[in-house]
Chain A
């Protein structure tokens, strides 16, 4: 190497935020690369949000469009609410990754491509007639072509590894290059590599060298003339970690078990994208937690109901098709007035649908998907971190009110991550259970002794003197004995509805981001929080009288929701469905809502919501 190569003239630019996307074949390790970049980025003090996107097939044919896996991260100084609308940098490990991801790359964005994979076969598989790296089809982007595979092989040549094994470290080269480009330290990833491959020292060495080679390549060549420092975020002081939504749910459940003093029993059946919750809870056995992989979705929910009858904090988690199977059993839990938490990590439907893609179209299922009048509490998490809060809250409500609670998450939240200012256990609200150990006089298992919670006493088997029978037949409102009496049935139907309604007195009111009056309110629920909040922040900074309110509680609604809505002449409800919340709001509050729907298996971008709001504001002004 010549001197000039070692000390090229390079500029360093300071930027506020950036969005990058790693894309490759599902075997290229893009999820690992992305999550390493994310960890390091959190450690250096940026705010961030991530979006993994991977195929349903574990190994789609190599090089095919169906097999493309990607990981996007936005990070920077400001309050980062979404993984970014359009990547500024796209790393592509093969032609298919370029083909699939190019349409979303920002104009003049940077493409970093591993040229080694752009051979005839891969180009054909991706549907390219000519090599796009060689013609001028990518002229409107900044193209950086690197033969990463060859450079990795060179860096590892004395290790005596087969080329196939060496090629597996190519993702570390790309990661190293991006670490250089955005001025991140490599130590965290070095540590990760050492621990992940600790039984195979040659693989540790290979990956570390590949990472270093990528970093050095950026520093010493002139292919990329500018590197960036990204301003740190001004986040509240405290200890942080990155957390994915599914992991946050698992932690929320364990925390609720600890705080309530009840044994957590989590029953599940493997289903994408909810299985991770089962995996993660299974790692907390030293908390006395029981996890049970049932033979099917029905056994998962019914075994949870059995555990609840026995006095445990009983939880089952699944995705939409699994919820459909649990329907009848949820009715039993409603009828038996037992505490039960059901988690639905939603995915695209109907039927098997889009198992790895996001959607929020199970709201009606949660609200109404049962025979007869069978109301349950419905909550929704807004962000990956909020998954912790709402899982805890679902447990609190279920236990304190002796009622089943459905918590809606989705694939985007479950697999997405963001930095989490770690809470203290002392800050979490207490959870009081309704267990009884004796009775003054005759015991009435269905008597409601506390009108504020409408909870019945929880007399669990093993308690002497309180033996009783419950079941799915209609029960007498006091004794719980089977009753076919007409008036009693009507009373019980109303009672089950009221049990949901009284919860509105024990949840926080809906808060409004921005002014509580204005031209337009964007009302959201679930994972649309990030893009809505980003869009409304931008609109407000441009002077528009737009506010944002976000519902964590969908049944019951917060008590002040009607008062919030009437202060705005227009209410826009963006949803990743055909307008389910919109219909609930119309039915409940008799107001004209505007729906904005996207059903592509992808989250909204902030720009889409911003543009939609601007269109509405323009239309109303033009009309006025």
Chain B
């Protein structure tokens, strides 16, 4: 279990313990600052010694993250953080392994490794900073940029259709899929803790604003005045309500989800779909609301199930092999098969 590594001698840690001596070099106002702050605030509450945490990243603005955490860290190469983290976790399953990636690093160049990490279900926490743009290379469209996006590399508009990250994760058999937003500090902290608690690969998409190259990409759900109308906060076992005074809900009209108005006198809360995070069909309905303006944007845990992790199964196989054949004896395997003596 993820929290079993805490040693008895552990001392209470504070946010400062997780802050490294490196100067943070993101652009002023970048959403990454908030995410870093929420992680550093949350980690002391996880009850683990800091040497047990490892941050692994690839390339991109978000991938500088490990340098700012006073834990073990590995800033690797573009798109491969998920694969590096896989080897790390296999070699030492007692570590709490965190991958920090972006929409370019994780979904474009690293798309292959990401889907395979999800389907294998190692106990790794993946934070996908989605700003829908390439920042470090100065503003090209990314795999989550909207169709028609005008950028330096697409002066006439992008003709790529964007990935829908939670649907992609569902298709890749992920066991934990959640979403949060950089500016919703409290919600983000809850999601970080939930990702940590999940025994398996946790896929946490974090909408993150790039104020230089893609400012206000998520303005509709972060606007102070009307964000309640655009945020659908997911809570397991609770009806899917949103809007000021929770006056709107998601209901099913036959096989299709629809937005209903609870104040119109025709509907009640009993008509509203109740969220069940263990139900793949509900998760799919929620994830498919992404990019659809007629629906609010779901935030929270879309889906979570517990199955054995990849490393659990690997070490079980090792145990079984030892039970069956005894602990490895090198001299015995050298002399296995047909041998003969020359005198």
Contact = CB atoms under 8 A, between A and B. Distances in A.
Interface string B40-82: 0000000001111011100000000011011111111100100
A506 interface: no
B112 to A, nearest CB: 6
Nearest to B88: A306
B325 to A, nearest CB: 5
B125 to A, nearest CB: 15
Contacts of A298: 80, 83, 113
Contact of A461 (B51, B340, B343): B51
B77 A311 contact: no
A435 to B, nearest CB: 13
A464 B322 CA distance: 31
B24 interface: no
B94 interface: yes
Given A258-B328, A465-B51, A310 B87 contact: yes
A473 B75 contact: yes
Contact of B83 (A43, A294, A462, A465): A294
Interface in A230-269: 235-242, 251, 254-255, 258, 263, 265, 267
B341 interface: yes
A298 B52 CA distance: 26
A386 to B, nearest CB: 15
Nearest to B66: A469
A470 interface: yes
Interface string B310-343: 0000100110011011111011011111111111
A299 B112 contact: yes
A309 B74 contact: yes
A303 B82 CA distance: 8
Contact of B88 (A45, A310, A471, A473): A310
Interface stretch (A52-60, A158-166, A282-290, A543-551): A282-290
Contacts of A254: 328, 330, 333
A111 interface: no
A303 B87 contact: yes
Nearest to B84: A306
A469 B67 contact: yes
Contact of A258 (B50, B330, B341): B330
A332 interface: yes
Contacts, number: 208
Interface string B208-234: 000000000000000000000000000
B116 interface: yes
Contacts of B270: none
Interface stretch (A89-97, A142-150, A419-427, A555-563): A419-427
Find the residue from B73, B95, B116 having the highest chain A CB count within 10 A. B73
B307 interface: no
Interface string B181-224: 00000000000000000000000000000000000000000000
B116 A251 contact: no
Interface string A469-481: 1111100000001
B264 to A, nearest CB: 50
Given A236-B342, A287-B328, A471-B73, 6 more contacts: A290-B314, A290-B318, A295-B112, A308-B91, A462-B95, A482-B67
Q: Which 4 A-B pairs have the closest CB atoms?
A: A471-B75, A306-B87, A287-B328, A303-B87
